[in-house]
Structure 1
Amino acid sequence: MQFAIVLCVYLLSGFFVVRGNETAVVRRFGAAVKNANGEVRLWPSGWHYDCPWPFASVDRVKLNEIRTLSVGNLEQDEPSQSGFLRSVDPARQAQFLSGDKNILNVQISVSYRVSDSAIGDFLFAAVSPERRLRTLAESVLADAMLHSGVDFVHTLGRNELRELMTSRLQRLAAEQRLGLTVDDVTIGNVSPPLRVKAEFIDVMNARADKETAINQARAYSEQREAEARATAQRAKDAAEVIRRQSVESAKAESESFSKLIAQLRSDEQSGRRSYAEARQLTLRRKYLDTLEEVLRKVAAKVVLDSGQAIDLTILREQKAGSR
């Protein structure tokens, strides 16, 4: 009777529970139970039964759980300071050599999860998959730092560096059958070594001054270019106005002269006066008009009282019969 009770209890120990956020894999006689297609069989949440121990064992895995591992310096000794110039504990620092021969303390966080399609690799194919993933992350970070400069790591290329390390870790994890899926790599703190922090501050200040000077010079250059363009446009517009006025004035004078010539020839044909007489009369009238216009602009006029006549004639009348 006691044997029957013990046997019954032993057989009942084959029942096992899989929680809602877990997936189970059963191993019978040390080998994982597989489906007909050869893949590892996954047991969903709920009550299940299989052979009791030691004939079978159950491995429970949280597939949807996002896990995180950190490489490098993670904690901050002084919460009030953050970023590039915070204090670093030398005992916990992780130093990497950059491509421009600088040493930096760099920290990254890798977000990953167990792959539902490769849970067999996670449980059986890989030895300490999470430890191997950490080693891969350190290797990828060291290689990325070696091909990057301080400016690229600190500010300019963080996003590009993050994408590069994420893709490389995803590829390496799949190639080495870790059974893990890398979701993202986050670059945390980037800090200079304590011994050279002052020099880094000087470099950063010099870089900031340089950027300020460049921006000011660029703004001044753009302002002068705009002023030069405006001045050139005003000169161009003024020249265009003068050109149009000159062209219109020349056209008007040309039309007036053409009408005058036509009038002279008409007078000659009608017999009122000869062409030479009409021409001489016209020249005299032009002379008087011009003289009147010139004298109007003269600021001072001198009247001579010498008792002698002054001849101001420029165009004299032609004698009869002369050409």
Structure 2
Amino acid sequence: MSWNEPGRGNRDPWGGSGNQGPPDLDEVIKNVKGKFGGLFGGKGGSGGNGDSQGNSGDGSGPPGVSGTAIGAIIGVAVLVWLASGIYIVDEGWRGIEKRFGAYHQTTMPGPHWRPPRPIGTVERVNVEEVRVSEVGYQTGGGDRRRHVPREALMLTQDENIVDVQLAVQYQVEDPAKYVFNFRDPDQSLKDVTESALRETVGKRRMDFVLTEGRTEVAQETRRLLSEAMETYGTGLRVVSVDMQDVQPPEEVQSAFEDAIMAREDEQRKINQANAYRNEVIPRAQGEAARVREEAQGYREQVVAEAEGESARFLAVLREYEQAPEVTRTRLYLNTVSDIYSRSQKVYMTGDAADSLLYLPLDRMGDRQSRNHAERDTGPLDPDILDRRLTTQDRQQPSGSRSRGDLRSREAY
């Protein structure tokens, strides 16, 4: 059927009936424009025979819309779309701006603007929060800890198994690397931590890990973890690595506790022995040094006295060779003077009738002191006093009693 042949029911292909011709194209455009204008509340366009006010010829045409209203609506929509690009970054956070999903820049705390979606997006990252990654256990609500054997059980150098629980504290150092380099950087840090811990424990014996090696294991794990995070570019910084618990497996824990107690007793005994040694040896060394110093001083004293006596004897010998009689007399007088100066007896020569009365003032002072002592402590025993006097007589030089015809009297 050709385009101008009538169809069924005497209708043409354009929807007309009877002998009507094809519809007017201008009329169709005006009808569509009028329908759209009615949606915005404007007046419809003028019909084919309408007047210049936009009404149809019969006054029943659809209302039209003005171009100013359409422009205002579009402008408001654009403003709302642009305003949706304003965002605020809180203190302690960083904003990661993206352009069509690619990194654009990192923004600091404060208000910022980015192109709205779908052109630009922003992701906020907390850089001040100290995050915790747990290996060997999981912390639940109410500080409850759940043991994770798959992560905690590790093999040592001497082929023993230990149960290690470790906590890593870390922060976001580079937000851009944290967002773009890894899909899940927190899980990556935990995996690397477990690997570094297993490497560290695997290079050490079980006894060392269970006792004095806890700090060393934590420090070595932190070093390996920090190097890996820097190499991988995760944007994370390790703050600390804390060893939570190290113990043997639960099945053999009682036997290990007994072994640890025995080891601690051994160490305690060793410490006590070392303390005793550190106390005795310095004292003995000091005593030995004192004895050596005293011996050295005595040797120098004896040598000096001997040299002095020798020099004095040689000097006297030279004088004796020059004047024997004078030197002999002087030696005698010096000896007698030295002996009498220490004696408590009075020696007089000549007849008793010619002797003078001698008052021993020094002995009187000694007797007064003895009287005071007797008043304080009681009278002295005469036997003790006689023994003292006999001892004093015995201590006198023999030369003082045999020289010449000297006579002695007690000075009382």
Please report the TM-score for the alignment, with normalisation by the length of structure 1: 0.64
Superimposed CA distance per residue, residues 170-203 of structure 1 (whole angstroms, 9 cap, x where no aligned partner): 2212222223222222221212211222222222
Matches for 1:77-226 after TM superposition, within 5 Å: 89=147, 94-116=152-174, 119-226=175-282
Please state how far the C-alpha of 1:44 moved relative to its aligned partner: 4.2
Q: Is it true that 1:66 corresponds to 2:130 in the alignment?
A: yes
Aligned-partner Cα distance in 1 for 2:99–2:287? 91
Q: What is the 5 A alignment of 1:223-262?
A: 223-240=279-296, 242-244=298-300, 246-248=302-304, 250-251=306-307, 253-255=309-311, 257-258=313-314, 261-262=317-318
Deviation of 1:235 after TM superposition, in Å, equals: 3.5
Superposed displacement of residue 75, structure 1: 5.2
* Residue 142 of structure 1, CA deviation: 0.5
1:145 is displaced (CA, Å) by 0.8
Is the contact between residue 162 and residue 187 of structure 1 (CA under 8 Å) also seen in structure 2? yes
- CA deviations on 1:100-146 (whole Å, 9 max, x unpaired) are 33322112122222233xx3332223222211111111101100111
Letter paired with 1:104? V
Question: 2: CA distance between counterparts of 1:243 and 1:63?
Answer: 79
In the alignment, which of 102, 107, 118 is matched to residue 31 of structure 1? 102
91-100 or 174-183, larger mean C-alpha shift: 91-100
Quote the offset at 1:89 in angstroms.
4.9
In structure 2, relative to structure 1, the CA distance for the partners of 1:227 and 1:58 (3 Å cut) is: closer
**Greater C-alpha radius of gyration:** 2
Give, in whole Å, the separation in 1 of the partners of 2:283 and 2:176: 72
Residue-by-residue CA offset, 1:54-105 (whole Å, 9 max, x unaligned): 44433222222221111113559xx9xxxxxxx9957677111222333221
Instruction: Give 5+ residue unaligned stretches, structure 1.
Output: 35-39, 80-86, 273-277, 279-295, 298-323
Distance change (3 Å), C-alpha of 1:262 and 1:61: closer
Find the residue that maps to 1:243 and give its secondary structure. helix
State the one-letter code of the partner of 2:113: H
Equivalent pairs counted in the alignment come to: 256
* CA distance in 2: counterparts of 1:201 and 1:187, whole angstroms: 19
**Partner Cα distance (1:156, 1:41) in 2:** 45
Question: Cα distance 1:222–1:114, how it changes in 2: closer, same or farther (>3 A)?
Answer: closer
Q: 1:241 to 1:182 in 2, by over 3 A?
A: closer
Larger RCO of the pair (alpha carbons < 8 Å, separation 6+):
1
- Find the aligned partners of 1:150 and 1:27 in 2 and give their Cα distance: 50
TM-score (norm 2): 0.51
Secondary structure of 1:206's aligned partner = helix
Q: Distance in 1 between matches of 2:229 and 2:150?
A: 26
CA–CA distance in structure 1, aligned partners of residues 195 and 300 of structure 2: 76
Long gaps (5+) in structure 2: 1-39, 42-69, 329-393, 396-412
Distance 1:50 1:242, change over 3 A: closer
SS of 1:156's partner is: coil
Q: Let me know the Cα RMSD of the aligned residues.
A: 3.8
Q: Which moved more, 1:90-99 or 1:171-180?
A: 90-99
Equivalent residue number for residue 291 of structure 1? none
Secondary structure of the equivalent of 1:186? strand
Residue 48 (str. 1) matches residue 94 (str. 2) = no
Letter aligned with residue 112 of structure 1: Y
> For residues 113 and 256 of structure 1, what CA distance do their matches in structure 2 show?
91
